[in-house]
Amino acid sequence: MKYLSKQIKTLQALKKFAFLVDADHSNIFHPMIANKKKGVLNYKVFSFFALIFFSVVSYAQKKQVCFSFDDLPLVTYGITDSSYQKKIFSKLILSLTNNKIPAIGFVNEVNLYNTKGLNPFKIELLNKWIDSGLEIGNHTFSHPNYYSVSFKEYSQDILKGEKVTKEILGRKGLKIKYFRHPYLQTGKTGIKADSLNKFLSDHGYTVAPVTIENEDFYFALAYKRTQVRKDTDLMKKIGYDYIVYMEKKLKYFETMAYKLFGRDINQILILHSNSLNSDYVDSLASMFRKNNYDFVSMDKALEDEAYKSPITVFGNYGISWIDRWALSKGKRGDFFRDNPPAPDYIKKLSE
């Protein structure tokens, strides 16, 4: 309401500088004067300036997006070389900080271990992430599928997955706050979802939703396999098509949100910590800026009232919260038809 009030006041100020047309229409651009008998408000001219004003205001209203990364510290696809991993992770962090993106990363603590136990190198990577001003959350210990294990097994895996993270954060005076479901699987039934939500709440966790769900993992695996073959031309094509695909995804979920809420909402993008995103976060950031986005934290993104929307429909899927809200509002079939898929050649390369 405060923002709308400012718009109205500015529009009223604009009226004061509008042009008058003399009664005989002989002086179209005659400026407004105290004696209004000399002319009447030229509404065509006023409307023109009002249109410009509201267009500028509309564009000036920056949209907001939170970048979130699953599977920290890093999806290595079997590459164990620590110098390679450090290079990828450091480049990812540098791109995020250079673009002033307050990202959050979700840790699978199983990735912190090797055959000898806790790997100091992986702890070093997490420390670097946190020391760069980036947030971390819990993504379970071993990335289980909630639809394939019992609630007891799943909840124990959550607690197992916070031990090292809590210790690292505690030494820095920080606390863990957010939980991200592996595979975005929240529960096949309302009962199972409610049980998990209560458990998370009881343990001080806030669920980290996703609105811009995508298949970056297909692109990432295709990119890694092409990288191993040193096919630089195909790597560039994959990177270019990745950004094109992600922009299509952004537009799709923007449209979906607008259909549901009649406005833009704060978006939450899911990505994975891998070599593809290490190389292309700069390009992703440019694409989002081109689409009038500011980068915000998870805390800030969740201030949007849309995230209080009830979810009443459940199933065996891992989908965007926008899809969940739509299903809960009775949307079916054609409402979801324009969701852009990853290109066929990407899926083939990642088989």
Q: Judge whether residue 244 has pLDDT over 70.
A: yes
What mean pLDDT is predicted for residues 178-189? 97
Give whole-number Cα distances, 242 to 72, 317, 323, 346, in Å.
21, 24, 22, 9
Q: How far apart are CA 216 and CA 79, in angstroms?
A: 19
Domain 63-349, CATH homologous superfamily name and number: Glycoside hydrolase/deacetylase (3.20.20.370)
As separate numbers, helices (DSSP H) first and strands (DSSP E) second, the chain gives 13, 12
What mean pLDDT is predicted for residues 175-196? 97
Cβ burial of 90 (10 Å; 0-12, 13-18, 19+) is middle
Q: How far apart are CA 168 and CA 175, in angstroms?
A: 9
Residue 42 tokens read as 């030229």
Q: What is the pLDDT of residues 124-153, one digit of tens each?
A: 999 999 999 999 999 999 999 999 999 999
What mean pLDDT is predicted for residues 199-214? 98
- 59 or 191: which leads in pLDDT: 191
At residue 335, the pLDDT reads 95
Q: Which band of pLDDT confidence, cut at 50, 70 and 90, is reported for residue 60?
A: low
Q: How far apart are CA 307 and CA 173, in angstroms?
A: 28
Q: Judge whether residue 46 has pLDDT over 50.
A: no
Q: How far apart are CA 184 and CA 145, in angstroms?
A: 9
At residue 204, the pLDDT reads 98
Q: Judge whether residue 31 has pLDDT over 50.
A: no
Q: What pTM did the predictor assign?
A: 0.84
Mean pLDDT for all residues in the chain? 88
Q: Which band of pLDDT confidence, cut at 50, 70 and 90, is reported for residue 78?
A: confident
At residue 3, the pLDDT reads 41
At residue 55, the pLDDT reads 41
Q: How far apart are CA 116 and CA 119, in angstroms?
A: 8
At residue 176, the pLDDT reads 98
Residue 300 tokens read as 């800030």
Q: What is the pLDDT of residues 245-262, one digit of tens each?
A: 999 999 999 999 999 999
Residue 140 φ/ψ region, left for φ over 0, alpha for ψ in the -120 to 50 degree band, beta for the rest: left
- Give CA angle at 346 (342, 350), nearest 5°: 115
SS3 state of residue 272: strand
List where CATH 3.20.20.370 sits in the chain.
63-349
If DSSP states are collapsed to H, E and C, what string results for 61-123? CCEEEEEEEEEECCCCCCCCCHHHHHHHHHHHHHHHHHCCCCCEEEECHHHHEECCEECHHHH
Q: Which band of pLDDT confidence, cut at 50, 70 and 90, is reported for residue 87?
A: very high
Q: What is the pLDDT of residues 277-302, one digit of tens each?
A: 999 999 999 999 999 999 999 999 99
